Amino acid sequence: MAEAVGRIRQANYVPKRWLVTSLVLLVIFAIFPFVAGEFQTNLMAKLLLFGTLGVSLDLVWGFTGILSFAHGVFFTLGGYAMAYYLKLNLSATANNYGGTLPDFMVWNGLKELPWFIAPLQFFPVAVIAMVVLPAGFAYLIGSFIFRSKVSGVYITVITLAISSALTTFFVSQQAYTGGTNGITDVSKLSLFGLTVPPIGIYFIILVFAASVMAGSWWLTQSNFGLILRSIKENEQRISYLGYDVANFKIFIWTLSAGIAGIAGGLFVPLNKFISPVYLGVAFGTQIVIWVAVGGRGTLFGPILAAILLGQIQNSVDRITQDWQLIVGVILMIVVLFLPDGLISLLPKRFLSKKSNQLNRSE
């Protein structure tokens, strides 16, 4: 118990080598769109979003020990909020039917915009919704799960069930969600009356990814982060110290869902669509793979894995459609020979002395 108290009281630290490395990487990513083509710029923007989505899962799995397959759900809820805004702001001339009602609603016989979708015509509402919808949904299910003291594999099973159920629901509600096709052919993103070009979306995503990384680093290295690690190691012991474990779990679960929702919201203007495929177990599993391959509890690992595996998929797709086989082989190699993920291949000197001591104590 004394050891746990001592660890919780440790002061924050920022490894200087990590800070310098992060700044160098940020500069490289900032220069990237000026030396790469449009396709590679858009691909890198998507992979940065996926990596940030992996970071959101890392907060609950890598640091708190909660394995979730529902982060694709949070990502998709945020994506639909933004997709409705962009679809509803498509000009009448660009719309397939020359009206303001989305084409998939017309196909399914709707005569007017549903009341619960109408507010998403306004940008501030859509921005708030892409955070509040996934975060609110996460808070509701998190309160049920963690207040009921559900733990271990049962949480994973519940998240799998949520993912499957919502996929079925969104596909069945074709008049409101676009069904299997989702929402496509959306307008370009505009801010203050100006259309945001592809490179502008790239930099918005880069700023978002950098902000999430910085905020997550600060959070996980604070006393709050040390409590999360302690919950992961010995939940019963930390509760004996007087901490409300459920509150900590609900907070980090809700926060990570909000981050995932923003990632989904930014995904739509980049790729011009969102569909229930991102609600499915397959995509949720892919997020888990990014975290596992990159390294749980590292923050940098999921982004590294998402970029690496995404580029491998892009390259292999030109030769064969069996890119999942390549990912499976990489996952097996990591599990067997690199249990701490790809990030463990980096030289130990990148971590500060204090950081190494903390990792050894874990």
pLDDT at 10 over 70: no
Helix (H) or strand (E) holding 19: helix 16-35
Q: Which residue has the higher pLDDT, 220 or 319?
A: 220
pLDDT at 4 over 50: no
Helix (H) or strand (E) holding 350: none
- pLDDT tens for residues 161-188? 999 999 999 999 999 999 999 999 898 9
Q: Which residue has the higher pLDDT, 270 or 9?
A: 270
pLDDT above 70: percentage of residues in the chain: 88
pLDDT at 239 over 90: no
Q: Could you tell me the CATH number of the domain that includes residue 291? A: 1.10.3470
pLDDT confidence of residue 15:
64
pLDDT at 359 over 70: no
Residue 275 backbone phi and psi in degrees, to 5: -145, 165
d(CA 254, CA 286): 20
- pLDDT tens for residues 197-212? 999 999 999 999 999 9
pLDDT confidence of residue 357:
41
pLDDT confidence of residue 90:
79
4-18, 130-144, 242-256, 329-343: the lowest-pLDDT one? 4-18
4-13, 205-214, 279-288: the lowest-pLDDT one? 4-13
| Region 135-159 average pLDDT | 93
| Region 33-37 average pLDDT | 92
pLDDT at 32 over 90: yes
pLDDT at 101 over 80: yes
Q: Which domain holds residue 319?
A: 2-361
d(CA 362, CA 351): 15
Mean pLDDT for the chain overall: 87
Report the candidate in 199, 195, 75, 68 with the shortest Cα–Cα distance to residue 134.
Answer: 75
How many domains does one find in the chain? 1
d(CA 92, CA 86): 13
pLDDT confidence of residue 328:
77
- pLDDT tens for residues 304-351? 999 999 988 888 777 766 667 777 787 788 878 888 888 888 766 554
Name the amino acid, one letter, at 86: L
Q: How far is CA 107 from CA 112, 174, 201, in A?
A: 12, 9, 31
pLDDT at 6 over 60: no
Asked if 241 and 299 touch (Cβ cutoff 8 Å), the reply is: no
Residue-by-residue DSSP string for 203-241: HHHHHHHHHHHHHHHHHHHSHHHHHHHHHHH-HHHHHHT
- pLDDT tens for residues 40-98? 999 999 999 999 999 999 999 999 999 999 999 999 999 999 999 999 987 555 666 65
